[in-house]
Chains A and B, each alone.
Chain A
Amino acid sequence: MKKFSSIFFILVVIVAFIGCGKEENAELSDSNFSPTLIEPSEIFPAEFGMPILPADNPFTEEGVYLGRMLFYDPVLSIDSSVSCASCHKQEFAFGDPLPLSVGVFGLKTVRNAPALFNMAYSQKYFWDARVNRLRDLVFEPIQAHNEMAMTLSLLEARLEDIPRYKEYFKKAFNHQPNVIDMSLALEQFLLSIISKESKFNRFFPGNNPSLLTASELRGAFIFNGLVDFDENNMTKGADCFHCHGGELAQQNNPLMGGIANNGLDPYPTDLGYGKITNKEQDMGTFKAPSLLNIAVTGPYMHDGRFTTLEQVINHYSDEVHYENPNIHPQMSAHGGIQLNLSQQQKDDLLAYLLTMTDTAFLNNPEYSNPFKP
């Protein structure tokens, strides 16, 4: 009987400890926990309008800074050789000048690293638009075998051993270091990256044309003009703005051109968004990126196939594969005829695109490596 009672006692004790499963992110006992909240209006410029923000992850100074540290820290990769910033370099608008980035052990990524800014205004992430939240996005490169190849359990153990993370996870979340809070901190930092001070942004919405040179202004009309051929088969507009419009130079809504096929290939081998949805109509479609900072985000397209903006313009002018059944209707609605822009039009369009570079953003110390003096 005594043995029986002991078994019951042990059972009761076990249940008491594990009865409802382990509490994740156990709170530290600190009555002084009071991170400094940042109002979204301090981050997001009024002229962009307010984005839809995650209600359960308010910006705090400590959270954003923790995210910034994690972004630049190679301990997130299996051999501590690759950080997020290895492939997302600030001087390239957090893109990579390589067509395919290099991860751990010299392995290459399968697509070009997208630039990172104004992400709060996007509703989908990655070239193939497979993720809806940045907190989910961050787990993919961390665990991808050809990027950071890390396991979450190892990462959590590693973070727990680093004093600065013990300090900052406590400051930001009142928790021990853990991968859930890590993803929230990275989300805060990524959402806080804003580019808004290019010449294009000062010109927008076109009220002050004197800001632009004559060539840039002509380029603005081509960029924002609709395709409409005259009797000489010349079009005044190239209709770039439907997929790259507004002050963000992007289409935020995936359904309004935010995800599209742009006629790169007649029969795409990379199925993009179609591989995610498994729908015929999505095969070969990709997220249309913002054109802000386009001068520094090359090489271009999801596979980095174009090294120069001239090549990009030539594609849209002369080389679109209108036979692709999934080409965006907006691109083929003028009859599927190549635009055949003149060299002057191409030069003007290029000049306009170059106004979209935001050097203040590219050098903004708020986004720079916090480990460098």
Chain B
Amino acid sequence: MVVRKIVPFAIAFFALIFQSCDKEPTKKPLDNSEKLFSVEFIPHVGENDLPPLGVNDFVSKFGGESFTVNNWAMLMSDFSLITESNDTVILGDGYQWVNFRANRTSFDYKNIPTGNYKGIYFKLGLDSNINHGDPTVWPSDHPLNPNLTGLHWGWSGGYIFHAFEGMFKANDTASSSGFSFHTATMEFVSEYFLPLNFEVGSNSRKAVVTADAQQYFENPNGILLIEKAVSHSAGESEKILMNGLLSNAQSVFVLKSVE
């Protein structure tokens, strides 16, 4: 008897509990047709992961020196996939900003055409009209917005295409000193083609690009930081150094896999 009288109250009680709370918004099911093509950049030193940027953990380099990276950022344009038949499939609008210290290293793209591809292409740098155009026109979250990236001279020199900075020691007992390479000006726009055959089908794919910091200093040009540790792409000696660094940069980036 007691139970029969309690039941309606109990039902009302629990119904109220369930009804009085806001309904969870209905979750939209994942759209499997939106396959992604992702590109991830992973900083390396040789075959190993680069120690976290900004950590005073020195790794050896050419000439008995050692170095640690504090900041490594890149502005890319014409970021694209190259098909087997040499057609170009631009990723997004072709611009991208990689910043290893901020862990901005992985990028997703939709609607990549199915087919066979033979590699990834990008420029470190921009076309002249963009480089010397008005930097204030870009949306706040665009890779070319200087307020986001800090990669603009803020003067008439245009953008910094590539910033590679850190500390180095000339030998085991030396105290550390800074190095700073800022690539800029149209003279130093550089192109990269990272070859690897892969297929884009009905599933999402992820390309892994390694960036080996050690290669900047040794392949093919041995660079001793004790001799000169700074280049902002201006002045004769800085230009020689920047040319050496960018020549080496061709060995820095490798398309390791497309999974």
Q: Which residues of A are interface residues toward B (Cβ below 8 A)?
A: 1, 4-5, 8-9, 11-12, 15-16, 19-20, 46-53, 121, 205-207, 224, 226-228, 241, 245-247, 251-253, 255-258, 279-282, 322-323, 325-336
A20, A206, A327, A333: the one within 8 Å of B155 (CB) = A206
The reply to whether A224 and B155 form a contact with Cβ atoms under 8 Å apart is yes
Contact A19 B55, CB 8 Å, known A206-B156, A251-B150 = no
**Residue numbers in B under 8 Å from A16 (CB-CB):** 16, 20
**Residue numbers in A under 8 Å from B240 (CB-CB):** none
The reply to whether A228 and B235 form a contact with Cβ atoms under 8 Å apart is yes
Q: Does B257 contact A (CB under 8 A)?
A: no
The reply to whether A330 and B178 form a contact with Cβ atoms under 8 Å apart is yes
Complex-state Cα separation, A19 to B16, whole angstroms: 8
The reply to whether A329 and B70 form a contact with Cβ atoms under 8 Å apart is yes
Q: A-B contact count, CB below 8 Å?
A: 147
Interface stretch (choices B82-90, B121-129, B139-147): B139-147
Complex-state Cα separation, A196 to B99, whole angstroms: 29
The reply to whether A19 and B20 form a contact with Cβ atoms under 8 Å apart is yes
Mark interface residues in B178-213 (1 if CB within 8 Å of A CB, else 0).
111000000000000000000000000000000000
Contact A281 B20, CB 8 Å, known A252-B146, A255-B102, A329-B167 = no
The reply to whether B179 and A47 form a contact with Cβ atoms under 8 Å apart is no
Q: Does B148 contact A (CB under 8 A)?
A: yes
The reply to whether B146 and A9 form a contact with Cβ atoms under 8 Å apart is no
9 contacts between A and B (CB under 8 A): A8-B13, A12-B9, A19-B21, A49-B138, A49-B140, A207-B156, A224-B155, A328-B178, A332-B177
Most buried by B among A205, A280, A281, A282: A281
B17, B146, B151, B155: the one within 8 Å of A19 (CB) = B17
B155 to chain A, nearest CB (A): 5
Q: Which residues of B are interface residues toward A (Cβ below 8 A)?
A: 2, 5-6, 9-10, 12-13, 16-17, 20-22, 54-56, 70-71, 73, 99, 101-102, 135-141, 145-156, 163, 165-167, 175-180, 229-230, 232, 234-235
The reply to whether B71 and A255 form a contact with Cβ atoms under 8 Å apart is yes
Most buried by A among B150, B179, B230: B150
Complex-state Cα separation, A176 to B71, whole angstroms: 47
Complex-state Cα separation, A334 to B227, whole angstroms: 10
**Residue numbers in B under 8 Å from A252 (CB-CB):** 146-148, 150
**Residue numbers in A under 8 Å from B163 (CB-CB):** 256
Given A253-B150, A329-B167, A333-B178, 6 new contacts (CB under 8 A): A50-B145, A52-B140, A206-B156, A245-B155, A255-B150, A256-B71
The reply to whether A329 and B165 form a contact with Cβ atoms under 8 Å apart is yes
B70 to chain A, nearest CB (A): 5
**Residue numbers in B under 8 Å from A279 (CB-CB):** 54-55
A99 to chain B, nearest CB (A): 29
The reply to whether A280 and B16 form a contact with Cβ atoms under 8 Å apart is no
The reply to whether B150 and A258 form a contact with Cβ atoms under 8 Å apart is yes
The reply to whether B150 and A257 form a contact with Cβ atoms under 8 Å apart is yes
The reply to whether B235 and A49 form a contact with Cβ atoms under 8 Å apart is no
The reply to whether A1 and B147 form a contact with Cβ atoms under 8 Å apart is no
Complex-state Cα separation, A224 to B150, whole angstroms: 16
**Residue numbers in B under 8 Å from A20 (CB-CB):** 20-22
The reply to whether B9 and A5 form a contact with Cβ atoms under 8 Å apart is yes
Task: Give the residue name and chain of the B residue nearest to A224 (CB).
Answer: B155
Most buried by B among A19, A205, A333: A333
The reply to whether A1 and B149 form a contact with Cβ atoms under 8 Å apart is no
The reply to whether A50 and B139 form a contact with Cβ atoms under 8 Å apart is yes
The reply to whether A51 and B147 form a contact with Cβ atoms under 8 Å apart is yes
Complex-state Cα separation, A4 to B153, whole angstroms: 77
Contact A8 B9, CB 8 Å, known A1-B2, A49-B136 = yes
B10, B17, B136, B175: the one within 8 Å of A50 (CB) = B136
Contact A205 B155, CB 8 Å, known A8-B9, A258-B150 = yes
The reply to whether A255 and B155 form a contact with Cβ atoms under 8 Å apart is no
Complex-state Cα separation, A280 to B163, whole angstroms: 22
A73 to chain B, nearest CB (A): 31
The reply to whether B154 and A241 form a contact with Cβ atoms under 8 Å apart is yes
**Residue numbers in A under 8 Å from B55 (CB-CB):** 279-281
Task: Give the residue name and chain of the A residue nearest to B142 (CB).
Answer: A50
Task: Give the residue name and chain of the A residue nearest to B101 (CB).
Answer: A255
Complex-state Cα separation, A20 to B20, whole angstroms: 7
The reply to whether A205 and B6 form a contact with Cβ atoms under 8 Å apart is no
Complex-state Cα separation, A49 to B153, whole angstroms: 14
Complex-state Cα separation, A207 to B149, whole angstroms: 24
**Residue numbers in A under 8 Å from B230 (CB-CB):** 226-227, 333-334
Contact A49 B13, CB 8 Å, known A20-B22, A255-B101 = no
B111 to chain A, nearest CB (A): 25
The reply to whether B102 and A329 form a contact with Cβ atoms under 8 Å apart is no
The reply to whether A52 and B16 form a contact with Cβ atoms under 8 Å apart is no
**Residue numbers in B under 8 Å from A328 (CB-CB):** 178
